[in-house]
Amino acid sequence: MRDDDNRLRALMLAGLAGDGGAHASLLRALLPPLRSFFRRRLGGRDDDVEDLVQETLIAVHTRRATYDPGRPFGAWVYAIARYKLIDRYRRSGRTTALDDLPELADEFAFDDASDARSDVDRLLETIPEKQAAVLRATRIEGLSTAEAAERLGIGESDVKVSAHRGLKALAARVKDSLR
């Protein structure tokens, strides 16, 4: 993944210097990972996928001044793609608070790790929102009960109960899907 990131970063830097060819190669190289990123999360609505891919490419282009050459390129693209995805969710009425999402991956994140992560995301969407939020905070981000309680604005005992119920609900879902 490192090599990939360095290759894309080199294209990005050339594009920032005004090299249109490098810029086109960069955008073209982003097509496959962006498509699979959105496809995984949108569950097969192909028009929407291509829509979001294009929106992301346009943002990568028009907002290229926000890339910090000192940082990994993948994390930057991933942050844009993720933002576009969340924006789409919000527009279609699904509520996802931006600031509450898990921290960014600092590697080029269109890889197997994000595959596993999207499975977890999909599962968490099937249980009540509070339980999912508690599990994200305590099990994925590794916050303590007290920290999670403070972050979510609920009591500590509520966190414990929600985590317990959430895990139980998840276990039931997984068992169901294996049947």
Partner 1 sequence: MNSEDLIASLSQDLRPVSRHALGERLGQGVIAGGLITLVAVVFWLGIRPDLMPAMLGATFWLKWTYTISLAICASAAAMRLARPDGTAGGWLRLMALPVLGLALIAGIELAMTPSTQWLDMWLGNSWTICSRNVFLLALPIFAGLLWSYRRLAPTRLALAGTSAGMAAGAWGATLYCLHCPETSALFVLTWYSLGMAGAALLGRLLGPYLLRW
| For partner 1, the closer CB: 85 or 170 | 85
C-alpha distance from residue 22 to each of 5, 18, 30, 64 (Å): 15, 9, 12, 14
Minimum gap (Å) between residue 150 Cβ and partner 1: 16
Q: Which two tokens stand for residue 103?
A: 């921290």
Contact status, residue 112 vs residue 1, Cβ threshold 8 Å: no
Minimum gap (Å) between residue 15 Cβ and partner 1: 7
Q: For binding to partner 1 (CB under 8 A), which residues are involved?
A: 15-21, 23-24, 27-28, 31, 50, 53-54, 57-59, 61-69, 71, 75-76, 78-80, 82-83, 87, 98-99, 104, 106
| For partner 1, the closer CB: 108 or 170 | 108
| For partner 1, the closer CB: 50 or 158 | 50
Minimum gap (Å) between residue 99 Cβ and partner 1: 5
Q: State the DSSP H helix or E strand holding residue 99, giving kind and residue range, or none if neither.
A: none
Minimum gap (Å) between residue 84 Cβ and partner 1: 9
Minimum gap (Å) between residue 141 Cβ and partner 1: 14
CA distance 86 to 89: 5
| For partner 1, the closer CB: 99 or 176 | 99
Q: Is 118 helix (H, G, I), strand (E, B) or coil?
A: helix
The full DSSP string for 36-71 is HHHHHHHTS-HHHHHHHHHHHHHHHHHTGGG--TTS
